[in-house]
Amino acid sequence: MRLLISGGGTGGHIYPALALIDTLKKDDDSNSFLYVGTNRGLESKIVPNAGIDFKTVEIQGFKRSLSLQNFKTIYLFLKSVHEAKKIIREFKPDVVVGTGGYVCGAVVYAASQMHIPTFIHEQNSIAGVTNKFLSHFVDKIGICFEAAKKEFPSRKVVFTGNPRAQQVANIKATGRLAELGLSENKKTVLIFGGSRGAKRINEAAMDAFSLFDTNEFQVLFVTGSIYYEKIKNEIGEKKLNNIVVKSYIQDMPAILPEIDLIVGRSGATSLAEITVLGIPSILIPSPNVTHDHQTYNARSLADIGAAIMLKEDMLSGQTLADEVNGLMKDDERRTRIAQEAKKAGIPDSSTRIEKVLIDLINR
């Protein structure tokens, strides 16, 4: 299989693409891959570092308000469609996949106009603007949440789950907590607002430290790189009982099997990892994302008892401590949430997508 894949802007679009490539490589090392992104997005660093051939087109997203920049956006879209067609002719893909972000809009649209089989993947419960546009042109659409189905032509929709889930599904505990200065014999809460951190989560966590029952459990607090120094200065010489503070953890999924409760955002990649591993969670959706999709993501789990949702406007040190202390003292409740989360996980998500792609190629 010759696969051309495009997606960018955020890790939520990039990591599912890399996870899919990883599975396809393992299944058949003769498969060939080309990733098309922009030279400014995260993909420009992450993809080449993963050893995947990478090419770029120049494109930008639409401004949501009236702006002269949108005329430039239209021009760049048409220009990037032309560039994408050239890349497609040179690579000769059997199928083209888009995982979201405006860059894949031009690439997948170009492929559809060249009558090459096309597939897009929507990670969230609310569809992104690019995927809504592309849904009119592509052959198949993979979704992770049933709520997303209503946003697309139903005949094209396939429930696949997020490829990131298959990548982490079989991770086992390896004693990483001890390397981080934590006990391997104590229940552990992970508080993590993403690689850059989340200001409101960090503030609530700091206020909650004195309220946590750390005789019952320990806390791994990952602040994000941009907040770490400020938080370390605020902590100063204070002795934190059973609380370890880190700026970032490389290969975060590797520690997840040793975590008893996660407090964090409800981005698609995080939820794929949480559900496939069956980890109880307190989800605090970011209100600063398109169409408030993290709230819909979190609610899809909370409504079936697979997570607890705590809206940011209700977040404080006290509410966070109440939720964490309550769950960590109630093993039975945590077990129920873990079981429901596991039921919601899709451990063979990349394999499902692979089957769709093969069917498209052979149709």
Q: How far is residue 118's CA from residue 96's CA, in Å, rounded to a whole number?
A: 5
295 is in an annotated binding site: no
User: Phi/psi at 244 (nearest 5 deg)?
Assistant: -115, 130
Q: How far is residue 86's CA from residue 301's CA, in Å, rounded to a whole number?
A: 43
113 is in an annotated binding site: no
Rg (CA), the chain: 21
10 is in an annotated binding site: yes
Q: How far is residue 48's CA from residue 57's CA, in Å, rounded to a whole number?
A: 15
249 is in an annotated binding site: yes
242 is in an annotated binding site: no
Q: Are 57 and 106 in contact (CB under 8 A)?
A: yes
284 is in an annotated binding site: no
In this structure, the dihedral spanned by the alpha carbons of residues 345, 348, 349 and 352, taken in order and rounded to 10 degrees, is -140
Q: Are 87 and 64 in contact (CB under 8 A)?
A: no
Q: Are 277 and 169 in contact (CB under 8 A)?
A: yes
Q: How far is residue 51's CA from residue 279's CA, in Å, rounded to a whole number?
A: 31
278 is in an annotated binding site: no
Q: How far is residue 122's CA from residue 42's CA, in Å, rounded to a whole number?
A: 19
Binding residues: 10-12, 124, 195, 249, 294
Annotated binding site for UDP-N-acetyl-alpha-D-glucosamine: 10-12, 124, 195, 249, 294
